[in-house]
Amino acid sequence: MTLFGQVARKTWIWSWIAAVVVWFVTILVTGGASAFGLTQAALTFAAFSIIVGIGQMFVITLGPGNIDLSVPATMTLAGTVALKLMNVDDGMILAGLFTAVLIGIAVGIGNYALIKLLRIPPIIATLSMSFIVQSTAIWTNRGLRIKPPPFLADFTTSSTFGVPNVALVALFLSLLAWLLLEKTVYGRWISAIGQSMPAAKMAGIPVDGTRFVTYVFCAVLAALSGYLLACFSGGAALNMGAEYLLMSIAVVVIGGTAVAGGDSNVPGIWGASLFMFLVVSMLNTYGLGAGVRLIMTGLIIIGVIMLAGGRQPGAR
C-alpha cells in the first residue's frame, strides 16, 4: 500500500516541481519584486483552468476516447445567458448561478444522449453538441456586452486574506472533486470503468449511470467556470472559452492523469494549471514575442510529458 502511495504521489509531483521552477526563474528576472503579485495572478488565472480541468479529468478518467470537446461552448453559453439574465442586478445573482448550472446540466444530458443513443464516439458527439451550443450562444449574445452585477464583479476580482476569491472557489470545488474521487463509491466506479469497461459491467457497476453523471458533472463545472470568467473579465465574449479547449486537456495530462483512463488525481490539476500560466508569464517577462512564446509552451508540454510519461507498456 505504501508503495502504491509513493507511485501515486509521483504522478502529480512533476507538475508542481515544474510550476515552482518556472516561478523561481521568473522571480529571478524581476529581482523578487513581484513575487506576491505574480503568485496572486497565477492563482487567479489558474483557477478557471482548474475548474474546467477537474471536469475534463473526470471524463478522461472514464477511459480511452472519452474527452469533452463541448467545454468552450458551454462556458460561453453559460456566461452569456447568465449575464443577460442578471442584467447588472445584484438581486439576480443566485438566479444567474442557477441558470448557469441548468445550462451545464442540459449540455451534459445532450452530450450523453448522443453518445448513448446514437453510439457516436464521445469526441464526435461532444464536438457536434458544441457546434449547437456555440450557435445558441451567438444567437443569444448578438454582440452585446452586458456587465456583470457589481457585487459579482467585485467578488471575482478581489481576494480574501491575500488569496484571490476565484482561487478559493476552485479550492472548494477541488476538495469536493477529491472527496468524490477518493472517498465515494462513485469515484471508484469511474476508475473501474476507465480501467476496463467490460470488467466494470461484469462487476455490476451501473456503467451508464456513472458515465451519464460524469458528463453532466463536467458540463456543470464548465458552466460554472464560464459564469465566473464572464464576471471576472467584465462581460461575456463569444470567444472567451476558446483557449480552454486545449488548456483543459493539457492541465489534466500534465497533471499526471492517465490518458488511457482509470487513474486520476486532483492535486496535479493545480500544479499543471499554475505551471501553464507561469510559463506564459515567464516568457512574457523575458520579453519574448508571441511566436517564440507559443513554441516554448509547446516544447515545454512535450518535455513534461516525456519526463512524466513513459509508463511501462501494458500498465494502465
Grid cell listed for 227: 459564469
Buried b (16+ CB within 10 A) or exposed e, 219-251: bbbbbbbbbbbbbbbebbbbebbeebbebbbbb
CA 4 to chain centre: 26
Return d(Cα 270, Cα 250) in angstroms, integer: 12
> Residue 18 corresponds to which cell in the numbers above?
515544474
Answer yes or no whether residue 221 interacts with another protein by CB under 8 A.
no
Write down the least CB distance from residue 150 to another protein, Å: 30
CB of 160 to another protein, least distance (A): 34
Q: Which of 272, 279, 314 is nearest to 300 (CA)?
A: 279
Length of the chain counted residue by residue: 316
State which of residues 130, 225, 265, 273 lies at the interface with another protein (CB under 8 A): 130
Q: Is 32 in the site for another protein (CB under 8 A)?
A: no
Minimum gap (Å) between residue 303 Cβ and another protein? 8
Closer residue to another protein (CB): 139 or 172: 139
Please tell me whether residue 61 binds another protein under the rule CB under 8 A: no
- In the complex with another protein, which residue's Cβ is closer, 70 or 191? 70
CB of 145 or CB of 183, closer to another protein: 145
Side chain identity, residue 14: W
Number of residues in contact with another protein, rule: CB under 8 A?
A: 51
Q: Which stretch binds another protein (CB under 8 A): 5-13, 14-22, 100-108, 288-296?
A: 288-296
Closer to another protein at the Cβ: 224 or 247? 247
For residue 72, which of 129, 146, 1, 33 has the smallest C-alpha distance? Answer: 129
The answer to whether 305 contacts another protein (rule: CB under 8 A) is yes
Contact 67, 245 (CB under 8 A): no
- By beta-carbon proximity to another protein, the closer residue of 39 and 136 is 136
Q: Is 167 in the site for another protein (CB under 8 A)?
A: no
3-class secondary-structure state, position 159: strand
Q: Say how far apart CA 169 and CA 111 lie, in whole Å.
A: 26
| Cα distance between residue 121 and residue 152, in whole Å | 38
Give yes or no for residue 139 binding another protein (CB under 8 A). yes
Min. distance of Cβ 64 from another protein in angstroms?
A: 7
Single residue of 34, 40, 128, 159 touching another protein by CB under 8 A? 128
Contact letters for another protein, residues 241-270 (x by CB under 8 A): -----x--xx--xx----xx----------
Residue where the block lists cell 443513443: 117
Supply angle C-alpha 199, 205, 210, rounded to 5.
Answer: 115
**Closer residue to another protein, CB minimum distance, 49 or 156:** 49
123 is a site residue for another protein (CB under 8 A): yes
Specify the DSSP element, H or E, that contains 164: strand 163-164
302 touches another protein by CB under 8 A: yes
Residue 76 interacts with another protein (CB under 8 A)?
no
CB 274 within 8 A of CB 30: no
Phi, psi of 160 (to 5 degrees): -115, 125
Q: Which is nearer to another protein, 2 or 312 (CB)?
A: 312
- For another protein, the binding residues (CB under 8 A) are 64-65, 67, 69, 114, 118-121, 123-124, 127-136, 138-139, 246, 249-250, 253-254, 259-260, 289-302, 305-306, 309-313
